[in-house]
Structure 1
Amino acid sequence: MRRTKRLLTLTLFATAATAGAQGNLTFVCGAQADWCQVVANAYKKETGGEAKFLRLSAGESLARLRAEKANPSFDVLFGGTGDVHEAGTKEKLLTFYKPKAWNELYPELRQQVKDAYIPLYTGALGMAVNDTVLKKRNLPAPTDWPDLGDPKYKGLVAMPNPNTSGTAYTMITTLIQIYGEDKAFDLLKKIHNNVPRNGYTRPGSGAAFLAARGEVAVGVTFLHDAVAQNVRGFPVRAVAPKAGTGTEIGGVSLVTNGPNPAAGKQFIDFVLKPETQKLAATVESFQIQSNAKTPVAAASPNLDKIKLIDYDFGKWGDSATRARIISRWTKEVFPLPRR
């Protein structure tokens, strides 16, 4: 009897260990690191599986997936702007997986991305404005995109670098859709002249952080990142440009030929549950979550009160288009001397 009990106990431990191992995965975190951590902790608590992650900005995520195409080390791409998910799917770096909660996701989000990837959240682009800095300079707050190119804001504008940031790419393509490509690049050159040496950040949230710390007066960022800084007690507010602004539909995608696809699918199903999506607001990530059953955090920007353009996710998510636009900015805008 004792031997039988021992064998039964060992079998149970072995089964539990195997189940945990099968649920282990590694994911690229294209969202805020603290959000990824709280999700990873919750995943382990519910499934017993380990979810390890590496924080990379959108552009870095795509570069890493391309570099590892023959032998991926990740199972899931969690977060990051839609252009990366669109490009990754078209390049077969990512594989579309229809999750269990598919029909619970906002239909308009699914329609906008044309079922190319799984929507995880959405948010609108805009500015983080530090009125304290502006008041010291006796300057008015900018209200629209052209204001950012006004010489009176010399050295006071921060924005992310499109070579690493999906936020910056969304900004550039938003300007193109509003003003046309050549006029948009003329404006980007004027904005560049107002960006200080340390004003180009790797992640999009970095520009909001510089504005929050008072290193600049304005940071181009997603509005939920500006709200997050305000909630943390910094003197910044979110401003949506009057001419209109673009949106992101951040995604979650299965990496093609990842080391543990079964765990990857399990993780995707887990992060789309309302109970999991609610965790974002607990770490001050105020995007609108994709599951219609997930309550919208009180601090989240109200997209119904913002003038949104009809952002073409398919067109601007195309790999060749994305590469061309970023290359043009890198060649024509970034090297220009600040006058």
Structure 2
Amino acid sequence: MKLAHCLGVTLLLATSAHVYAKETITVYTAFETDLLADFKNTFQKSHPDIDINWVRDSTGVITAKLLAEGKNTQADVIWGLAGSSLALLKEQGVIKPFTPVGVQSLKPTMLDPQANQAWYGHDAFFNVVCFNEIIAKQLNLPKPTTWEDLTKPIYKGHIVMPNPSSSGTGYTQVSAWLQTMGSEQGWDYMTRLDNNIAKYTHSGSKPCVESAQGETVIGISFALRAAKLKSQGAPIDLILPEGIGWDTEAVALVNTDSKAAQALVNWSVSKEANELYNTVYPVVAHKEVNGNVKNYPDVESAIADIDFNAMANDRAAVLKKWSAHFESRTENRS
């Protein structure tokens, strides 16, 4: 009896452990760090048996990491990475074709435009120019309104922008300049702008953070962070020169054998998830979700007309040329 009882207890414990064991999936992301907990916790309310192991860095770093790892990547899902990066990863066979539940409720303009769709946008992220009005007044600096204004000698040493090799914000703006100005004029513009650059950062948010803190006057940066900082009382004006860079953050499946990974992708395009995105992004993919975000600039009149396939295909050549000319002003990684 004692042996049978012990075996029964052992079996019960083993069964209980199996029932309550969580499956952990690895998710590569470029989401802002302060969003991760909300996204994970909301997902787990309906999927308590799935845990997320985040691998987070800026867009450029995550993209380079995935390209280096290739089909041997440890990622199960990529969630919160630029659509242009995912287009490139699709060509490399890193992400797999997959049709999430509810995809018909998403705006077609924010989805993989190719056959055998493999990535699905959930929000659009935009760039902005942050301008510290207090420091500018102290230094007698006028407010710029155009990209050309930023090349004026009066702004020398007062501009910070992201390095496009490590920051998606940086790369989207470089792409926007090249596509709207043309290649020759775009590179000429960046050469003249470089004369006024204090440094290039590895983070797309950092230039605006430094502008808000008075460490620089002008930061070419990430509009989401800019809106948050302004809402917190930062003395910054948000400027939208015509031809502002943008991209869509998107989700894609890597591990097609994982039901948990598929569940996350399905949830990531749901109305519930889009309502969560909409608390920080004014433009999201779900057709029925369209709330406003406090202090987020009206980007509709200023955004560049972007060819995302060209952005993806030209990436390596553009970054190689940019680094050869401008890398020396990039800050050291801490």
TM bucket normalised to smaller:
0.7 to 0.9
Residue 244 of structure 2 aligns with which residue?
Answer: 245
Please list every run of 5 or more consecutive structure 2 residues that lacks an aligned counterpart in the other structure.
Answer: none
Select 1:292's aligned residue among 287, 292, 296.
Answer: 287
Q: Give the count of matched residue pairs.
A: 324
Query: What is the deviation of 1:286?
Result: 2.9
Amino acid at match of 1:244: G
Could you tell me which residue of structure 1 aligns to residue 269 of structure 2?
272
Q: How far did residue 108 of structure 1 move? A: 2.4
Partner Cα distance (1:143, 1:274) in 2: 37
Output the CA distance in 2 between the equivalents of 1:125 and 1:269: 28
Amino acid at match of 1:307: A
Aligned to 1:333: 326
Report deviation, 1:12: 6.3
Q: Hey, what does 1:213 align to over in structure 2?
A: 213
Establish whether residue 309 from structure 1 lines up as the match of residue 309 from structure 2. no
Shift in Å at residue 219 of structure 1? 1.1
TM-score by structure 2 length? 0.87
Q: 1:280 to 1:175 in 2, by over 3 A?
A: same
Asked whether the 8 Å contact 2:124–2:281 carries over to 1, the reply is no
Q: Answer whether contact 1:83 1:317 (CA < 8 A) is retained.
A: yes
Aligned position for 1:160:
162
Q: Distance in 1 between matches of 2:161 and 2:102?
A: 35
C-alpha separation between the residues in 2 aligned to 1:205 and 1:51?
A: 24
CA distance in 1, matches of 2:243, 2:65: 33
Q: How high is the TM-score relative to the length of structure 1?
A: 0.86
Q: Cα distance, 1:200 vs. partner?
A: 1.3
CA–CA distance in 2 between the matches of 1:225 and 1:231?
10
Distance 2:72 2:299 in 1: 43
Map 1:83-162 → 2, pairs under 5 A: 83-110=84-111, 115=117, 117-162=119-164
Counterpart Cα distance in 2 of 1:226 and 1:113: 33
Any idea what SS the aligned residue of 2:216 has?
Answer: coil
Alignment correspondent of 1:13: 16
113 and 189 in structure 1: CA distance in 2 versus 1, 3 angstrom threshold: farther
Q: How far apart are the structure 1 equivalents of 2:73 and 2:286? A: 29
2:111 is paired with a residue whose SS is: helix
Task: Calculate percent identity across the aligned residue pairs.
Answer: 25
Asked whether the equivalents of residues 227 and 297 of structure 2 are also in contact (C-alpha less than 8 Å), the reply is no
Counterpart in the other structure of 2:315: 322
1:43 Cα shift?
2.2
Distance 1:300 1:288 in 2: 14
Measured after TM superposition, the shift of residue 325 of structure 1 is 0.5
Contact conserved, 1:130 with 1:218, CA < 8 A, in 2? yes
Q: Which amino acid aligns with 2:37?
A: Q
- The residue that corresponds to 1:233 in the other structure is 233
Structure 1: gaps of 5 or more residues = none
Q: Does 244-253 or 273-282 show the bigger shift? A: 273-282
Give, in whole Å, the separation in 2 of the partners of 1:307 and 1:191.
20
CA-atom RMSD in angstroms:
2.7
Correspondence for 1:204: 204
- 8 A Cα contact 1:122 1:288, kept in partner: yes
**Secondary structure of the residue that 1:127 maps to in structure 2?**
strand
1:142 Cα deviation after fit = 1.1
The one-letter code matched in structure 1 to 2:140 is N
Q: CA deviation at 1:14?
A: 4.1
1: CA distance between counterparts of 2:209 and 2:97?
A: 34
C-alpha distance 81-303 of structure 1, shift in aligned 2 (>3 A): farther
For residues 16 and 52 of structure 1, the distance between their equivalents in structure 2, rounded to whole angstroms, comes to 20
Q: 1:10 to 1:336 in 2, by over 3 A?
A: closer
